[in-house]
Amino acid sequence: MKADVSQVDAPPRTDGLAPLRLGILTFHSQLNYGGVLQAFALQEALREMGEDAIVVDKWLDSQNWFLLGQLCNLTPITCLKMAMAELMGCDKIAELKRRKRTVAFLREHFRLSPYHFCAWEELRNKELRLDCLVVGSDQVWRCEWREDPRTFLLEGAPSIKAISYAASFGMTEIPKKWHEIYRAGFARFSAISVRERSGVGMVRTLGFEATEVLDPTQLVPASQWRALIPPHRRPRKPVLACYFVNVDLFEVWDNLEAFARKMGCEVHVLFSFHPFDVPRSRREAFAHLRHTLRRVGSLVRLHCGDGPVEFLEAIDGAEWVLGDSFHGLMFASLFGKNIRLLPPPGQRGDSREGIFARILDFADAYAKGPLVAESVAEALASFERGERVTFDEVALEADRERSRAWLRQALDGVRREIAESR
């Protein structure tokens, strides 16, 4: 799964300076579309600046299960279990297809390091040959989650210069018991930028400066994203593309079906992660069977096997976009789509809590129209009334250039530090 990075040269710089050897450290080795595409975008943005950027192949577990899943262990017994699950409507074959497509995307479009690791201790005897680490974006600094943020705060890492670009916390404050760990981590960075307005305050609370910048997906123009999509025929009917992280699809199925029939359109549904677990009880099995039969002949189509390219194609080809994802918003804005976003569960009383804060920050700055809907029914009713969300492209482009300028300045600072140390 490794690209031969020695065979790919960085674009020539126009200022005569040698490119920095940069290693991007982020959540790239996973199924989530946003996690994969933000890493690709940062790689491309850095290379467009003339730097020699690769993605450090950090795995979330020793088998790379978050990316490979059952591909790690395709034994005859595993295949038999998957076949049985497929008969129950769990779409396990589609899940394998998505994993293969994601692996293929990484192989084709990423410049991966020639090593992989889970914890920094594994690299003690390996030469990284990097001038600087670029940490971010995504929720690399979120604590008490599936991944310990100390890796991304470079605790135990080799002594290499580092900056962060659009690092995200996905929380509104750093718990006090983590303060010293974060304070020591921030001290390892030559320059810090974050993706959320609240993140600036969290960094400053611990005595460091940070700058708010745009997510790296915004640094790659829509034309470059569209170049990844193979030529295809446009759908004969208008399409509502749904991209869900926390929505129970079968609770809103009737709403989506009714919208499709009323508007004469198709509904294409994608998921952040595979949505179907194998039933664990007779009751779950009967419920799952009802849901499976419900899909027969429906205008609501599930895209459980889509990879990153198919995700881009779905958003680009849609008339309307509905979801609860930050990166769904990023690509809807890049492609100029009419989108509605749902607050995550448990945060409807105060939608500025948690990870939804960064969605509202972006909406406040660049979106015009009824972007946030409290329910799927409310969002679909808004589409039916012909209401539109538009984006202030002038303001967005100004902030894209500001974000690029911050990144250039931070890297120039690293370049000066390296020169002074020699």
Residues 146 and 17 in one domain: yes
The three-state DSSP-derived secondary structure of 339-386 is: EEECCCCCCCCCCCCCCHHHHHHHHHHHEECCCECCCHHHHHHHHHCC
Question: Which pLDDT score is estimated for 91?
Answer: 74
CA atoms of 73 and 276, how far apart (whole Å): 20
Boundaries of domain holding 21: 5-220+397-421
Neighbours of 420 (CB within 10 A): 7
Name the one residue in this structure whose structure tokens are 């509605």.
340
Question: Which pLDDT score is estimated for 296?
Answer: 73
CA atoms of 418 and 377, how far apart (whole Å): 56
Question: Which pLDDT score is estimated for 69?
Answer: 84
Contact assessment for residue 160 and residue 184, using Cβ atoms and an 8 Å cutoff: no
What's the distance, Cα to Cα, between the start and end of the chain in Å?
36
Number of domains the chain is built from: 2
Please state the rounded mean pLDDT for residues 208-233: 94
Q: For residue 58, is pLDDT > 80?
A: yes
Residues 189 and 257 in one domain: no
- Tokens for 152, please give them: 């991304």
CA atoms of 275 and 375, how far apart (whole Å): 20
Question: Which pLDDT score is estimated for 385?
Answer: 98
Q: What percent of the chain has pLDDT over 90?
A: 64
Peptide bond into 137 cis (omega under 30): yes
Residues 326 and 359 in one domain: yes
Residues 206 and 75 in one domain: yes
Residues 194 and 330 in one domain: no
Distances from the Cα of 275 to the Cαs of 270, 278, 302, in angstroms? 9, 10, 10
Residues 236 and 300 in one domain: yes
Neighbours of 345 (CB within 10 A): 11
Q: For residue 192, is pLDDT > 90?
A: yes
List all residues 6 or more positions away from 87 whose beta carbon is below 8 Å from its beta carbon: none
Question: Which pLDDT score is estimated for 9?
Answer: 52
Residues 231 and 196 in one domain: no
- Tokens for 280, please give them: 């664990």
Residues 236 and 379 in one domain: yes
282: domain CATH number? Answer: 3.40.50.2000
191: domain CATH number? Answer: 3.40.50
CA atoms of 328 and 312, how far apart (whole Å): 10
Residues 263 and 368 in one domain: yes
Sign for the CA dihedral angle at 403, 405, 407, 409 comes to negative
Residues 114 and 194 in one domain: yes
Q: Lowest-pLDDT range, 14-18, 92-96, 173-177?
A: 14-18
Name the one residue in this structure whose structure tokens are 């009802």.
290
Residues 125 and 186 in one domain: yes
H or E stretch at 290: helix 282-294
Please state the rounded mean pLDDT for residues 356-369: 89
Residues 382 and 408 in one domain: no
CA atoms of 320 and 380, how far apart (whole Å): 9
Question: Whole-model pTM?
Answer: 0.90
CA atoms of 289 and 279, how far apart (whole Å): 10
CA atoms of 382 and 314, how far apart (whole Å): 21
